[in-house]
Amino acid sequence: MGFLQNLFGAQEQQEEIPASLRTGARELVDRVAPSALDVGRDDVAMPGQAGKNGVLMRHWWVEDLPNTLSFESLDPILQFPGRVCTSMLVNPVSAQEALQALRQERTGQYASLLIKSQQKRLAEPETAANLQSLEAEMSDLQIARRLPMQLNWVIGLSAQDEEELDDLGQKMSELLTTSGLIYHEATFRQEAAMKSLLPTGTNFLGDQRNVNANTMACLFPFSRRLHYDPEGLPYGIERNSGAWVMFNDWACDNQNMLVLGEMGSGKSVFLKWKTLWHVLMGGRAFVIDLEGEFAPLAGILGAEYIDMGLSSDERLNVLDLNPDDEEGYYSGAMDLLGWLGLAVGGLTPHEKNAVTDAYRRVMAEAGVLREDRSTWRKTPDEMPILEDLYGALMVEEHASGRDVAARLKEFAVGMYSDAFNSRTTIDPRSPLVVFDVSGVRSEAFKGLRMRQIVTFIWSRMLRGDVPTLVVVDEAWHWLRHPEAATELEGMARRFRKRYGGLQLATQHIYDLDRTGSAQVIRDTADIAVLFRQRGTAVQAISRLFDLNELEARELRTLSTGDALLVTPDDRIPLYVAVPPDLLQVFSTKPQDHLAEEPAVMDRVAEAAETA
């Protein structure tokens, strides 16, 4: 050292390494890059990232199984309504080692029986049962050549906070006890248990139990309840099992469906996904599009997208009749009275009489007779229009008729006559028809358009020969208007007889309590898809759909696209798995909406044609 110092010059004395860094390489690594896990006595904490909450996990391992094992006893554990991970690591045992172990065990059991016999003591029933089991296992091994296996069974349960973990952990422990399993919480071994859950095929706990093929039949592959109907639609993937949920609406007594979820939870994407598959499988769908969100779907399927704006060239005649309806003449009069009630601010009994008198006159002048159904099949150009009714009301001898005419003037011959005083110009034949009302800004006029659209849809459903869905997204807008809610109530009550179902989506459960009609819509729905909810809405939904505590709690923490499918017979945790190309088209987020990109639309349209 002296020679080197003389050659290069004396070096400055280095600072002493802190004691905290001299305790070994492992300690140094932990200080420079601390572990992301906080391992405790009976749980493992994983901190959140990017502002997200962390996760707590608790683990159990199974030491022994009951003598008689059944699917019914294990199904509640495997289908536990929480975030559960299950690892069942199975390894075969050497036949020679297994046979030797069985012989030693059998010798010990017989020796115990012999000693008790010499002592003139009765043998325990458990000893006889064990001997019988040993003989059966030796027979399987020597004659049937069924090798025994070793099972390492670890269960992991996750929660967002300690209170939830304790609550769910107690429920899991009760289920394990009820099933007859001998189990242990992995106290002071939580990290090893968590590593055993990883898909590495490694048993870090070291605890395992011998099992045979009959026992494994109840366990592996994991027992799961399939929700698969060959005639159903792919709703999504069951979050517990990873299996596709193929659900058939038409197998229910009522095909009406409610879709509830806050903004951005995925309810609109689900509606488009279901509508797409319904049409591809040969069904028919009418969509009332409040925000213009279904245009990309219509483009993919080559469907008819009808602009119902006030300045649009696509029109509906409020005096049209449905010739396929046995009561078409009277139904036309009732539809007209309903539409006029919205347009002119209500009708008194005298005014209704005046309108029906004028209706009969204008129909007769056009050659449409109540007693002759053949005259109901007029072409659109031969049917009377609103200005004809206005003229008939103007010459009414009673003042009530002239009062109605005065209020009807702006729609018949005034400023808005182009929008409402017209003959029907549409005759859609596509299996998917979308009515776009996004261009109608006035709330009052939206109600008028809604009435016209509903009347038109009814005229196409009377034959009931094709399964038909009527999709109403953002239904909160219609439910707050009593007249529009009444129209939807009529659909909800009567669609079942016409091979149809009302699919209604809204943000809040309280929208379904606004009016008596809204409550009828709510109560007649056999199917519900519940997306993420917040606040007191969770309690209201829990009461309405009879959700248990875990299901209600989960509604608050669901990710986008996660949902709970509620049917008359089941509760299914669902993930709406939409392909990325379609998700870009269906998304309502501006940053995700790439429908304008031709490449995306071309790929999706090609896939739809292939399907």
For position 314, what pLDDT does the model report?
92
- Write down the mean pLDDT value for the chain: 83
Q: Which two tokens stand for residue 33?
A: 């890059």
In 3-state terms, what secondary structure has residue 409? Answer: helix
CA neighbor of 153 nearest in space, from 174, 184, 187: 184
Residue 359 has pLDDT above 70, yes or no: yes
Reported as a pLDDT band with limits 50, 70 and 90, residue 144 is low
Residue 381 has pLDDT above 60, yes or no: yes
CATH number attached to the domain at 253-314+426-580? 3.40.50.300
HEC readout, 489-543 = HHHHHHHHHHCEEEEEEECCHHHHHCCHHHHHHHHHCCEEEECCCCCCHHHHHHH
Q: Is the pTM of this model over 0.85?
A: no
Residue 450 has pLDDT above 90, yes or no: no
Chain mean position to CA 85:
22
Alpha-carbon distance of 544 to 533, in angstroms, equals 14
- Whether 261 and 267 have beta carbons less than 8 Å apart is answered as yes
- Whether 481 and 447 have beta carbons less than 8 Å apart is answered as yes
Alpha-carbon distance of 194 to 204, in angstroms, equals 9
Residue 3 has pLDDT above 50, yes or no: no
Reported as a pLDDT band with limits 50, 70 and 90, residue 551 is confident
Tokens 């396929």 locate to 324
For position 51, what pLDDT does the model report?
44
What is the percentage of the chain residues whose pLDDT exceeds 90?
36
Contacts of 512 (CB under 8 A, 6+ apart): 258, 479, 506, 518, 519, 521, 522
Region 449-469 average pLDDT? 84
Alpha-carbon distance of 270 to 256, in angstroms, equals 15
CA neighbor of 65 nearest in space, from 187, 179, 202: 179
Picking from 81-90, 289-298, 560-569, which range would have the lowest pLDDT averaged per residue?
A: 81-90
Picking from 142-146, 366-370, 589-593, 606-610, which range would have the lowest pLDDT averaged per residue?
A: 606-610
**Domain chopping of the chain, boundaries:** 42-216, 253-314+426-580, 328-412
CA neighbor of 303 nearest in space, from 321, 283, 322, 320: 283
For position 23, what pLDDT does the model report?
45
For 53, counting Cβ atoms within 10 Å of its Cβ (0-12 exposed, 13-18 middle, 19+ buried), the class is exposed
In 3-state terms, what secondary structure has residue 154? Answer: strand
CA neighbor of 286 nearest in space, from 459, 31, 107, 511: 459
pLDDT tens digits, 186-228: 999 999 999 999 888 888 888 887 777 677 777 754 555 678 8
Residues facing residue 234 across a β-bridge: 246
CA neighbor of 484 nearest in space, from 515, 451, 440, 530: 451
Percent helix, strand and coil across the chain, each rounded to 5? 45, 15, 40
What is the percentage of the chain residues whose pLDDT exceeds 70?
87
For position 601, what pLDDT does the model report?
54
Higher pLDDT, 131 or 182: 182
Reported as a pLDDT band with limits 50, 70 and 90, residue 145 is low
Hey, which bits of 111-241 come out as E strands? Answer: 149-159, 182-185, 209-211, 233-238
In 3-state terms, what secondary structure has residue 295? Answer: helix
Residue 25 has pLDDT above 70, yes or no: no
Chain mean position to CA 184:
36
- Whether 567 and 527 have beta carbons less than 8 Å apart is answered as yes
Alpha-carbon distance of 534 to 443, in angstroms, equals 28
For position 369, what pLDDT does the model report?
92
Residues facing residue 58 across a β-bridge: 157
What region, left, alpha or beta, does residue 326 occupy, with left being phi > 0 and alpha being psi -120 to 50 degrees?
Answer: alpha
Higher pLDDT, 3 or 217: 217
Instruction: Report which listed range, 20-34, 52-66, 587-601, is most confident.
Output: 52-66
Region 264-269 average pLDDT? 91
- Whether 199 and 188 have beta carbons less than 8 Å apart is answered as no
Alpha-carbon distance of 584 to 590, in angstroms, equals 10
